[in-house]
Amino acid sequence: MRRITTTRSILLALSFLYAAAAHTQSTDTYTVVHTYPHDAQAFTQGLIYLGGHLYESTGIVGKSSLREEDAETGRILAFHDVPAPDFAEGLTEWGSTLVQLTWQNHVVHIYDRGTLRLLRTLPYPYDGWGLTQDGISLIASDGTATLHFLDPVTVHETRHIVVKDRGKPVILLNELEYIHGQIYANVFHTDRIARIDPKTGKVAGWIDLTGLLPPADRSDREAVLNGIAYDSAHDRIFVTGKLWPKLFEIRLKPAPKRREQGPSGP
């Protein structure tokens, strides 16, 4: 499993403090629409929805994979083994291909979407965490507050943004999805998703998924929220996590608007 280094442990502690502080502002919650089976052995690192199927990238050196799955049953329709030493990470589509990051091996794998056949491997300068795309660029996280916008052919950076909420950097950004013109990002080891303005990096809002998967269903301390997929044809959001036995279709519940406070009486 991904081991947390001393530096990452410090960043993780800071992320907990930041997440707690973020609760002071309005935060969207959720309603579960449907619950589907999910492979409880899948160390989910990337998740996308295309043409009625899920495509999933799973991690762990020696256990990494790329999968095509039936969304409703969780049945694996196609499977590609990602051999050691790669630790597979974020996943997105580009045209007829699938693009998969690796954690610390500094390579990106490009696959044929129809067959999951590996087409080529490209060098990549960053640690690979999450990946999505906006129709123009690939967008990647590296575990910091920075999101990299990449040329989809060369994977060279064209620009980047630093994600901030009320002027403070939001670190440990992980799995990504592009929804309604915003970047949705899991914050590692929390049940929170940041909604990010792709132009400015400013956090437009938060989503709190606390309670989605009960602690009793989490088999490991690394069984954390880490998977967001969007069905654009039907406006559906799916979420899961590493080693989670369930995939959830959710509907967001906007936070109630705060009332303006008038003068207090005696």
User: Which tens digit of pLDDT belongs to each residue from 11-45?
Assistant: 454 444 444 444 445 799 999 999 999 999 999 99
Q: Which residue has tokens 């409880």?
A: 40
DSSP letter at 251 equals E
Q: What does the alpha-carbon distance between residue 196 and residue 1 come to, in Å, rounded to a whole number?
A: 28
What pLDDT is attached to residue 219?
83
Which strands form 138-141's sheet, in the order they lie side by side?
Answer: 131-133, 138-141, 146-150, 157-162
pLDDT band of 256, cuts 50, 70, 90: confident
How many Å apart are CA 171 and CA 163, to the nearest integer?
Answer: 8
pTM confidence score: 0.87
Interval 243-247 mean pLDDT: 96
pLDDT at 117: 97
Of 108, 145, 104, which is closest to residue 5 (Cα–Cα)? 104
2 pLDDT exceeds 70?
no
| pLDDT per residue as tens digits for the range 128-167 | 999 999 999 999 999 999 999 999 999 999 999 999 999 9
pLDDT tens digit string along 70-129? 999 999 999 999 999 999 999 999 999 999 999 999 999 999 999 999 999 999 999 999
CB 265 within 8 A of CB 43: no
- Residue 212's CB is within 10 A of a number of other CB atoms, namely 19
Q: Give me the domains of the chain, ranges plus CATH numbers.
A: 26-253 (2.120.10.30)
| Residue 261's pLDDT band (cuts 50, 70, 90) | very low
| Residue 247 · residue 36 · CB < 8 Å | yes
Residue 179: pLDDT over 80: yes
Confidence of residue 69 (pLDDT cuts 50, 70, 90): very high
Total residues belonging to the chain? 266
